[in-house]
Chains A and B, each alone.
Chain A
Amino acid sequence: MMTDVEKKKFTYYPGCSSQGSARHLDESLRAIAPELGLELEELDDWNCCGASVGHVAGGSLPNLSLTGRNLANAAKQGKQDVLTGCAACYLNTHAGNEKIKKDVALRGRVNEALAAADTSYDDDLQVRHACEVIVNEVGLDKIRERVTNPLTGLKVASYVGCQTVRPFANTDGGGSYDTYDDPEFLDNFTQACGAEAVDFEVKTACCGGSVSVMNPEKTLHLIKRILDAAKASDADVIATPCPLCQTNVEMYQDAINKEFGTDFNIPVVFYSQLMAVAFGLDKEKAAALQRNTIRSEKLENMAKA
């Protein structure tokens, strides 16, 4: 646990979506970091992690080398842990890091590739997800302390999704901070902000991931499940930690309405946006609420700045 004075430093890996569809995650995360005692120093010249499909066209070792380059750069910035807010970046970088550290021959091959750019990764860095860091390093008490503008009366469906917790949340390397079938961290964040975490039993259902991007016709029904449950619980907003979930669940509501005759119009926000509002920060510069294509009037009215 940190005091107000000391801050814990992390090498921050924003990921490609931070410059596009998930800008609001990056902006709100950077805004709340100092409140939570986290100092985020951006990873120098970071590249794409490869996401879900990188290895398909790129091949296995080239795909892993993307992570290798990121880690090599991070190592140059110091021994502090690498932190990312994006679930896919976390999966690829954390898993890649574990593999490289465990398999000496593999490490050799990655470094042989990195040598082509005069760099190498010989260190023992840790790669962590922002939510795990908030649970394990910051703690709920600290969040509550920072809440000057509780989101009283806001009903939030806390949608955890898949890759944030699976497969690492219940492993030692992943911080052992939650379970797979009924993770509670997001509900806890919601409640710490003063909002109401409604019953939401599909909290770990899949939004379709990258398949929803390529072939939404295959996965609309999966997204609909999530929306149905949120509506049934009378949620004002759906909160999520994952860039792809946020985009998928938000942007396909029209297509779902057309296909299934529904009338969904549920705002989908990041937990970091909720926290920014709850901490009394600016609703645009910090909480980035203007970035959501489906706006939540209720949440925006609660913002103090």
Chain B
Amino acid sequence: MTQAVPEQSKKKYDLGFARWVYDNIDGGDKLSMCMQCGACSGSCPIGVQMDHGPRKLFMMIRAGMKEAVLSSNTLWNCTKCYRCVVRCPRGVPVTYILGSLGTKAVELGYADKEDTRSFARSFWWSAATFGRTDERLVTARYYFSFGLVEGIKKGLANLKIALGMVKTGRMHIGAPHKIKDTRGLQAILAKAQEIESRAGKG
């Protein structure tokens, strides 16, 4: 069930967790209105591949199961299709909540081994450095985050696709596209980071 095992020993049941989620998670204030109808889990295209569907995850939050929630793969398997959001009869912004829980899970060290974290780091590196996402560099960094051998393996597996993209002009060859004011962007991001660590909620 769990992928990441956190270093510190933490309680299995922490009754204060629900309150913390309501107060600190994007959309958490709406989470209190969940009536456990299950429309979200039922609508999810990838729900059966999650440790817990969103409905169950929300109940686990209420029961204070902080460890199980933050280490579940639910947060990472979500494809952001937003079907749950438009169908929830109580207007709970499910996708946003899962996304925000994911961010917190990374912050608190629960997601160190998750593929998404590796991908996200590669993605952010590109966006922050160039102001643009260079798909080829992001993919390459992501593949090699698994190690040299794994990286090569993945690269080879997708070689045909990559060549197809090059041939049709959809993979940029050459220096990565950049915005003009990279310095300005980086200043903004650094400042935002500073504000966030002092405030708590972004």
Contacts and interface: CB of A to CB of B under 8 A. Distances in A.
Interface of A: 16-17, 19-24, 45-48, 50-66, 68-69, 109-110, 112-119, 162-163, 166-167, 170, 180, 204-206, 208-215, 218-219, 222, 251, 254, 290-293
B117 interface: yes
Contacts of A254: 160-161
Interface string B128-167: 1001111110010010000000000000000011001101
The B contact surface, by secondary structure, is helix
Contacts of A163: 80-82
Contacts of B164: 251, 293
The A contact surface, by secondary structure, is helix
Interface in B17-60: 26, 45-46, 49
A60 B170 contact: no
Contacts of A206: 45-46, 79, 81, 83
A66 B127 contact: yes
Nearest to B126: A48
Contacts of B83: 162, 166, 180, 204, 206
B196 A61 contact: yes
A45 B183 CA distance: 13
A83 to B, nearest CB: 19
Contacts of B102: 56
Interface string B174-185: 000101110011
B189 to A, nearest CB: 5
Given A45-B179, A51-B133, A115-B191, 8 more contacts: A47-B132, A53-B124, A56-B106, A56-B124, A65-B189, A69-B185, A112-B191, A290-B168
A287 to B, nearest CB: 13
B123 A54 contact: yes
Interface string B92-106: 000000011011001
B169 A291 contact: yes
Interface of B: 26, 45-46, 49, 77-83, 85-87, 99-100, 102-103, 106-107, 115-117, 119-121, 123-128, 131-136, 139, 142, 160-161, 164-165, 167-172, 177, 179-181, 184-185, 187-193, 195-196, 199, 201-202
B85 A167 contact: yes
Contacts of A50: 127
B82 to A, nearest CB: 4
Contact of B188 (A17, A52, A59, A65): A65
10 interchain residue pairs of minimum CB distance: A60-B202, A61-B202, A117-B184, A166-B82, A56-B120, A113-B192, A57-B124, A57-B120, A206-B81, A116-B191
A259 B103 CA distance: 33
Contacts of A180: 83, 86-87
A215 B187 contact: no
Contacts of A211: 46, 77-79
Contacts of A115: 191
A47 B182 CA distance: 9
Counting chain B CB atoms within 10 Å of each CB, the highest count among A50, A62, A208 belongs to A62
A60 B196 contact: yes
Contact of B46 (A66, A204, A222): A222
B103 A60 contact: yes
A62 B192 contact: yes
Contact of A62 (B121, B142, B172, B196): B196
Nearest to B201: A60
B135 A21 contact: yes
B160 to A, nearest CB: 7
Contacts of B191: 112-113, 115-116
A54 B124 contact: yes
A59 B189 CA distance: 10
A21 B165 contact: yes
A65 B89 CA distance: 31
Contact of A57 (B117, B131, B132): B117
A21 B195 CA distance: 35
A47 B142 CA distance: 21
Nearest to A252: B161
Contacts of A17: 133, 135
Contacts of B179: 45-47
Contact of B172 (A19, A58, A68, A293): A19
Contact of B123 (A57, A62, A293): A57
Given A115-B191, A162-B82, A45 B168 contact: no
Given A47-B131, A58-B124, A162 B106 contact: no
A48 B133 contact: yes
A70 to B, nearest CB: 10
B193 A59 contact: yes
Given A57-B123, A222-B46, A16 B133 contact: yes
